[in-house]
Every structure is written in structure tokens, then in C-alpha cells.
Amino acid sequence: MRPGVRIAIDKIFTVVAGASVVCLCLVLVAVLGPMLLRGGSAVAFKGTVEFRKMQLVLFGQGDEDKIAAESRQAEIARAKIYSTIEKFKGGIDSEALTEKAKQIYRQFGNDLGQTNMSAEDVAELRSVTRNIRDRLESAFASSNTAEVNESLAYVLNFKDDPRIKNTSAAGLIGLAEQYSKDIHGINLAERQRYYQELRQVEDTLIELLGPAPGSATPALMMNRFGATRWDLAQKLLGRLLWYEEWIKQGPGQPMVRRLTPRSQRFAGTELEGLFAYIQQNLPEMLKPRPTFYWQYFIDDSTPGHYFGGVGPEILGTLLLTIIAMLFVVPFGVISAAYLVECASDNFVMRIIRMSINTLAGVPSIVFGLFGLAFFVMFFLPMFGAPSKGCILAASMTLAVLTLPVMIRASEEAIRAVPQTYKEASLALGASRFRTFIKVTLPAALPGILTGVILSLSRVAGETAPVLFTGAVALGPVPKSIFDPTRTLSYGSYDMAVGDKLAAMVPHNQFGMVITLVLLILCLNTVAIVLRSRVFKKLAGH
């Protein structure tokens, strides 16, 4: 080949090789970038007044007076919405009417228990009133005028029944009368559609602004507050303003989504202008402000990580890592010392080396099974501890997992210490043990720290070994090493695939993963800094 061609190929090769490294950097950016961006929004975002209220109630953070003042302002802006909806709801809310009927029936049942009628009379009365209640419910639910009138007529028959007249069950009759007045002239078919769409609007409003003032406090914390983040609020606003339906196209074609503005759907009713009002005044109702939620790394979280931070998970991961390191470092360094100093190349040594290499190759899931069967079911009961997953078992499993890494790195480090150091120390009369402790080990310290760094990353990030031995998805902060704990690794897995609530809070999903990655990088950095300090100290000597 001509020399020019060869030189050209050489240059192309250099470029290609450089491209592969650039490709690596791009991959790193591609993997970490989206996670950082989306996870970062768990810490830095635009928070609303609902967020500040939630922080006050759940974690006691924030200025109470300022938040109360803001809430009052927000409520004033929101009041118009609720009054408009109340006005519209009067004639069409069959669920509320059904609830009322059920309550009256229950009240009547309680009252009957107070009187001293015979048991058969009580049972008969109850069954009569139950029939009335059921017919009333079907009247409320139906959209067929004839059916409704028939049911109402049945109920109104009991108007003058002496057993019912002066008791609380008369309320049922009252409901029937009121209802027949309300629906007089309303198109029942439209009513059904209005009612269903109003339900959608109300549900979205509850998610956006929290429970309506005057309604019962929901049992679950996540339902007690509205949208805590401005981006979530925008998404909910979209759902509020637009009605989504799927339209058939031709045969063999998938349906397409069509969005109609809700004001159109409620055209001609009181609700028509409501949506524009909400859109314009949402900032006033939610008061968004840029928030820097650094307490994310300290706070506990509500179940499902709907609110709150990843504090306990970080603590769990750190505990597991530190305790596993406490096990691994002595075992690893001592084994490496033995292998370098006292080993001769005989059969037993070969077996030991083969075992270490085999251990390095065992898949992490097999370690998980081993940890469960050995440490949890066998080892712990030997010491009288209850045989359930706990930090101790998980740490020991992780220690066995990273033992080969530690041994290999330490061995290399100890071997790399120049023979002259050892010989000089021995010549000065020190025993072999003293030589090792005072001379070889300090000189090998940087390499051993490298081993510690590698082990740290492995231990903090492994999920499969802790699945069965010590990690839980929901649980209190551990009080001793015999408790299970939440960890960042298992939490990330659970948030990604296991949890229903997690999909509603993507910033928390990504937040947890990126916290794990950042934690590992931080641990690495600390260890690297330590290593370079030790290295400098050694070089200085």
C-alpha cells in the first residue's frame, strides 16, 4: 500500500478511537442526564401554597403565620368555584341524595334500637324502610323518567303511614318529594351526562386544590392537600379544561383522541364561565414560588413516597454500607496479608485462590438466596435473635459479596510495596509481624483504600442481596441492627416498578435513583480524597 494511504488510514483510526471514548462520555451523559434533570426537580421546583401547608402539617417546617395568611388569600380566590358548583349541583347530584337516604335509614335503625318494640316489629319496620330506601336509590340513579316516577310514587304511598310518619324515616319521604319537584322539567338523559362530567371536574378540583371546604377530612394524608408542585398543577389544569374522548375512525383503524374545551360541554349552564376563571386565577389560588427543598435528603416520607423525602433510605444505605465495611476490611486485609506473606504455592493455596475467584463470579441473586437461607434462617437463631431480615444479616451478605474485590485490591497493593522496605525493616531487627504492621501496611494503604472505594460502590448499590435479607418497602426508621430498614437501592426498584403511587410522582422516582448515584459518587470522592492525602503523606516521607 502506498505510504500516503497508510498514513491516512492511521489518522482515521486515531479519530475512530477518539470517537469511541467520546461515545463513552456521551453514554455517561445520556444515562445520568435525564435522571439528574428529573430527579433534580425533586429538590428544586416551583412549590405551591399546598406544599407549604403540607410541610407545616407533616414535618413542622415553615412559618405558621405566613402560611395561614397565604391560605386565607387562596381561599378567597377559590370561594367562587365552590359556590358556582354548589348552585349547579342542586338538581343533579344523585350520589349525595343516595348518601342522605342511607344516613336517614341508619339513623332510623339506631332510633328503633332505643324504643322497646318487639323484635319482630323492629325487623318488619326495618325491612319496610329498607325497601323504601332501595326504591329511592334506584329513582336517583335512573335516567328513565317513567321508572323514576314509578319509584317515587311507591315511596310517596308511605307518606301517611302511621309507623313512619313521625319518625326519622319520614326524611325519606321528604327526599322523594323534594326530588320530584327538582327533576320536573329537567332532561334526565342530559342530567346523567352533566353529572358524570361534573364528577370528573370535581375529582380533578380535589386533586388540584385539596378537599372542598366543609367536606370531611380524608383518611389518607395524600388526599388532604392539593397540588403541591406547579408543574403538577399545570397538568391537572389541562385535565380540568379539556374533555378527552376517543373517536372511532374507519374500520381497522385505531381510535384517536379528541379534546373539547369543557366550557363547551357545559354550554348554557352556570359552569360555562367557571373554567376561564380558574385558568386566569390559578396563580392566585395556589401562589407558586420557587422552592429549594433541601430537606428532601432528611425528611421521612408518607407511604408510597407521595410526599416527603428520602432521609430514612439514605440512613439505611449508609448503615448497611458502614457495617458491611466493618466486616469486609479486616477480613479482606488479613486474607490478603496471609496470601502475600505466608503462602506457599501448594494445593491448599490453589484451592483458596480458586475459591476467591469463584466467589467473585457468583451472581448477586444467588447471594441473596444464600443470605436468606444461611444468615437469616440459620446464623441469627444461633445467637438467639429472631430469624427475620435485619441490617446485620444484610450487611453480612453484602460483606461476603465484596470480599473478593477487597482481597484482590489489598493483595495487589501489598505486593506492590517494594521488597526493599521489607528487607530494610527486617534488617533493623523488627519481627515479621511488626514489619507488616508498621511498614508494609502503611505503604500499601493507598491501594487498600482503592479496594475500599470499589467495595463501597458495590455495597451501596446492590439490590438483589438485600431483597430477602433486610430491606423493606415501608417501615419505621431502624432502632437497632436487628431491625430491617429501607434502602435507596430497594426503594428505587420499588418506585420504578412496584408502586402504584410512584407513577404519580415521577420526580420522587428519579429523585431516589439520583440520590443513590450521588451518594455513591460522594462516598467515592471522600475515599479518593483520603487516598490522595495518604499518598502525599507517604510520598512526603
Partner 1 sequence: MKRLVFSLALLMLAATGPVRAETLQIDGSTTVGPIADAFAEYFMRTNPGLEITVKKTGSGDGAAALIDSRCDIATLSRFMKDKEFKAAVDHNVLPVAHAIAMDGVCIIVHPSNTVAALTTAQVRDIYAGKTKNWKEIGGPDAEIVIVSRDTSSGTYETFNEKIMEKEKLASNVEYVNSNPQAQARVKTTAGAISYVGIGFVDADVKALKIDGIAPTKQTIANGTYPVARPLFMFTNGYPKLGSTVFKFCTFYLTEKGQEIILAKGFVPVTNY
Partner 2 sequence: MLESSAIKAKQGTLLDTLAPAADSHRPLVLTPTEDIRGFLTLHLGRTALFLVTCTSVLAVFLIFLFVIREALPFLAKFSIKEFLTSTAWYPEAVTPKFGTLALLVGSGYVTIVSIIFAVPVGILAAVFLSDIVSMRIRNIIKPIIEILAAIPSVAYGFFAVMVLAPWMQQKFGFSTGTNALNASLVLAVMALPTIISVSEDSISAVGRELREASYGCGATRMETIFNVVIPAAHSGIIAGIVLGMMRAIGETMVVWMASGNAAQIPSPWWDLSQSVRTLTATIAGDMGETEKGSPHYRALFAAGLLLLVITLCLNMVSEYFLIRAKRAGGKR
* Choice from 2, 21, 119, 347 touching partner 2 (CB under 8 A): 21
Site for partner 1 in 457-496 (CB under 8 A): 467, 472-476, 479-482, 484, 494
Report the 10 Å Cβ neighbour count for 138.
14
- Binding status of residue 439 toward partner 1 by CB under 8 A: no
Looking at the DSSP bridge assignments, the partners of residue 501 are: none
Q: Which is nearer to partner 2, 186 or 343 (CB)?
A: 343
- Binding status of residue 460 toward partner 2 by CB under 8 A: yes
Among the listed ranges 64-72, 113-121, 292-300, 364-372, the one in contact with partner 2 (CB under 8 A) is: 364-372
Among the listed ranges 145-153, 261-269, 384-392, 518-526, the one in contact with partner 2 (CB under 8 A) is: 518-526
At 383 the three-state DSSP class reads coil
Degrees, nearest 5: CA angle 308-368-397? 85
* Choice from 144, 249, 357, 532 touching partner 2 (CB under 8 A): 357
Main-chain dihedrals φ then ψ at residue 287, nearest 5 degrees: 50, 65
- Binding status of residue 468 toward partner 2 by CB under 8 A: yes
With contact defined as beta carbons under 8 Å apart, do 46 and 233 qualify?
Answer: no
> What is the rounded CA–CA span in Å between residue 426 and residue 437?
12
- Binding status of residue 109 toward partner 1 by CB under 8 A: no
* Choice from 257, 344, 382, 419 touching partner 1 (CB under 8 A): 257
Residue recorded with cell 446464623: 379
> What is the rounded CA–CA span in Å between residue 516 and residue 316?
12
Closest C-alpha among 292, 289, 311 to residue 300: 311
- Binding status of residue 292 toward partner 2 by CB under 8 A: no
Judge residue 333's burial from the number of C-beta atoms within 10 Å of its C-beta, 0-12 exposed, 13-18 middle, 19 or more buried. Answer: buried
- Binding status of residue 220 toward partner 2 by CB under 8 A: no
Residue recorded with cell 444515562: 31
**Between the CA of residue 502 and those of 368, 491, 496, what are the distances in Å?**
25, 11, 7
Among the listed ranges 58-66, 70-78, 266-274, 337-345, the one in contact with partner 2 (CB under 8 A) is: 337-345
- Binding status of residue 503 toward partner 1 by CB under 8 A: yes
- Binding status of residue 256 toward partner 2 by CB under 8 A: no
Among the listed ranges 61-69, 204-212, 297-305, 425-433, the one in contact with partner 2 (CB under 8 A) is: 425-433
Degrees, nearest 5: CA angle 310-316-321? 125
Residue recorded with cell 397565604: 70
Interaction partner, residue 364 (partner 2, partner 1, none; CB < 5-8 Å by kind):
partner 2
Interaction partner, residue 509 (partner 2, partner 1, none; CB < 5-8 Å by kind):
partner 2
Which sign, positive or negative, has the C-alpha torsion 85, 88, 91, 93? Answer: negative
Q: Which is nearer to partner 2, 5 or 146 (CB)?
A: 5
Q: Which is nearer to partner 2, 28 or 322 (CB)?
A: 28
Binding residues for partner 1, rule: CB under 8 A, are: 102, 106, 218-221, 223, 244, 246, 248, 252-257, 302-304, 319, 322-323, 326, 387-388, 467, 472-476, 479-482, 484, 494, 497-503
